[in-house]
Structure 1
Amino acid sequence: MTTFDIMLPYYGPVSLMQAAVRSVMTQSDRDWRLTVVDDGREEGVAEWFEALGDKRVRYQRNERNLGVSGNYRKCIGLVEFDRVVLMGTDDIMLPNYLECMRASLAVAPDVAMIQPGVEVIDGLGQPLRTLVDGTKRRIYAPKVDGHRLMGGQELATGLVRGNWLYFPSMCWRADALKAVSFREDLRVTQDLALVMELLLRGEELLVSSTTCFQYRRHAASISSTTAGTGARFAEERRYFLELAKVAQEHGWPRTAKAARFHVASRLHALTLLPGAVRTGRKESVSNIVAHAFGSVRQAR
């Protein structure tokens, strides 16, 4: 029977981390192990874990701050079982999450990635509807009833047009994840880069329509803060232009074209432009405008 390694690279509010841990402990499927790697310095955290008294829960604090990518890489290095989840420190597993993963593995035992159904919540845990998530569901995400196996140029192109995955909710085959890991030079696009590398290696994704995970979206997240300043878009542009070249050389011209134009990323930047103008942050406005209206010629 598969034991799931659930890795929680922790940084941020203690209360949200505790809610994430409790959601793992209330899984209907009891065959799991949780490892929390603390990259912060909040007081009382180690004592809280000790008081849990559950041998399936492991906790350790980094001697020095490793940063987001570094802490994720450390978590991957600690994985011992065949299946792993890299859970967000502020997200929630619904009680049926591991049950859903086990049902998905019965459909595709060797699949590298599983994307289940996700509910988006706000900082208070209430259901949240945003333009970004609505667009993901209506335009970019495939329509699935049950399970659907995807891969190759079709999936890669679709994800470049609009990344509809919720990375913290995904379940991975451990050997596939360890083969690619996370890039040190990326912060906000590292999840997409990892998935793309696996697809280029011939791996596949299984999509389940069963909702079993709550993804928290709030203003304090790295992706939100870097988007507000426009800083994330310089990284996105750099990555997409790099991917365009790689995809072209790999024989995926549709993926290369989508990466060159990165339309969804440009449109996302435009939605943030009014807010940047209102705040009067000239650098933010400049970053966003450059990304939204920049030329694609450099990528050709």
Structure 2
Amino acid sequence: MTTLDIMIPFYGDVALLREAVGSVLEQDDPRWRLTVVDDTDDPAVPEYFAGLDDDRIRYRHNPTNLGITGNFNRCLELVEHKLCTLMGCDDRMLPNYVGSVLAVWADHPDAGLIQPGVRIIGSDGRPRKTLVDEAKRRVYAPKVEGRLELSGEDLAVSLLRGDWLYFPSLVWRTELLAGLRFQDDLRVIQDLALLVDLVVAGATLVVDETLAFEYRRHEASESSASAFDGSRFTEAGTFFTETADRMAAHGWPRAARVARRHLSSRLFALTMLPQALRQRAGVGQLTRHVFGSGRA
């Protein structure tokens, strides 16, 4: 029997963590095992897990703080089953999530990644629309009727043009992650960097339109905060420059061109400029990212 390893790296709000764990407990399909890796010192967290009577749930506490990237890597080390997901500690699975992704896996056993259908929710847990998510859906994501399989340079071009995946909702074939790690020098673009590593290694993505996951969009997230001060785009510029060279060396010229232009990242920076001007923070970095050369 295939079991899905659900990994939650925790570093945030205990109430939202309870929602996330509750959504796992409400799964229609019992073929899952949940591991929560706690990177906080909040006593309410171990107390909560001590009260859960389910042998499919593991709670681990880091004796020293690892930080966001380190905690994600610790989760990778603890995966034991053939399939895994790195769920956000504030996101929610719909009751059909495990059953839906395992059904996709049954039909596509060679898939490296599975992207189920996702609904965006806000801090209050209610559905919401944002400019970023509408752009993902309408501009960057491919059209899917039922299921779609992507791989190779086509997948690299698609993701580098605009990362339309929802990382916490993805299911991964564990063996592909062997030896891969989230990069310590990246704060907000770790997910795309890891995805590019997998695509270069030959991973196939299967997109399934069945709605099965709720992704929580916070304005005060790490990525949003760094967007306003401009540091996100300094990081992004370096990443895309290095990735363009890597794609060219790999023999994927279309992917190299898209990475060098990184138009979606530039457009996002442009939308941040008015707020940065009001806050007088990060204006220079944002401006350089928007109007600089493809070698930013």
Matching residue of 1:248: 248
Q: Give the Cα separation in 2 of the matches to 1:63 and 1:252.
A: 43
Matching residue of 2:292: 294
Matching residue of 2:237: 237
Q: Give the Cα separation in 1 of the matches to 2:139 and 2:220.
A: 26
Question: Are 2:186 and 1:199 aligned?
Answer: no
Q: After TM superposition, give the deviation of residue 178 of structure 1 in Å.
A: 2.4
Q: Give the Cα separation in 2 of the matches to 1:141 and 1:44.
A: 39
Letter in 2 for 1:35: T
Q: Give the Cα separation in 2 of the matches to 1:105 and 1:20.
A: 23
For the residue of structure 2 that corresponds to 1:80, the secondary structure is: coil
For the residue of structure 2 that corresponds to 1:65, the secondary structure is: coil
Superposition RMSD in Å? 1.0
The answer to whether the 8 A contact 2:226-2:232 is kept is: yes
Matching residue of 2:264: 264
Q: Give the Cα separation in 2 of the matches to 1:199 and 1:57.
A: 31
Extract unaligned runs of 5+ from structure 2: none
- CA shift digits 1:47-105 (9 cap, x unpaired): 11010111111111111110111101111101111000100011000000011111111
- CA shift digits 1:167-194 (9 cap, x unpaired): 0000000111223221111121111111
Q: After TM superposition, give the deviation of residue 280 of structure 1 in Å.
A: 2.5
The answer to whether the 8 A contact 1:243-1:259 is kept is: yes
Residues 207-246 of structure 1: pairs in structure 2 closer than 5 A: 207-246=207-246
For the residue of structure 2 that corresponds to 1:270, the secondary structure is: helix
Residues 52-63 of structure 1: pairs in structure 2 closer than 5 A: 52-63=52-63
Structure 2 length normalisation: TM-score? 0.98
For the residue of structure 2 that corresponds to 1:52, the secondary structure is: coil
Q: Give the Cα separation in 2 of the matches to 1:28 and 1:221.
A: 31
Q: Give the Cα separation in 2 of the matches to 1:224 and 1:107.
A: 37
The answer to whether the 8 A contact 1:228-1:272 is kept is: yes
Letter in 2 for 1:42: D
Matching residue of 2:89: 89
Matching residue of 1:140: 140
Matching residue of 1:277: 277
The answer to whether the 8 A contact 2:110-2:204 is kept is: no
Q: Give the Cα separation in 2 of the matches to 1:32 and 1:292.
A: 44
Matching residue of 1:42: 42
Letter in 1 for 2:213: F
- CA shift digits 1:213-243 (9 cap, x unpaired): 0000012211111112111101101000000
Q: Give the Cα separation in 2 of the matches to 1:276 and 1:90.
A: 27
Q: Give the Cα separation in 1 of the matches to 2:40 and 2:178.
A: 24
Residues 25-36 of structure 1: pairs in structure 2 closer than 5 A: 25-36=25-36
The answer to whether the 8 A contact 1:9-1:88 is kept is: yes
Matching residue of 1:183: 183
The answer to whether the 8 A contact 2:114-2:206 is kept is: yes
For the residue of structure 2 that corresponds to 1:286, the secondary structure is: helix
The answer to whether the 8 A contact 1:77-1:178 is kept is: no
- CA shift digits 1:268-295 (9 cap, x unpaired): 00001001111233xx111111111112
Extract unaligned runs of 5+ from structure 1: none
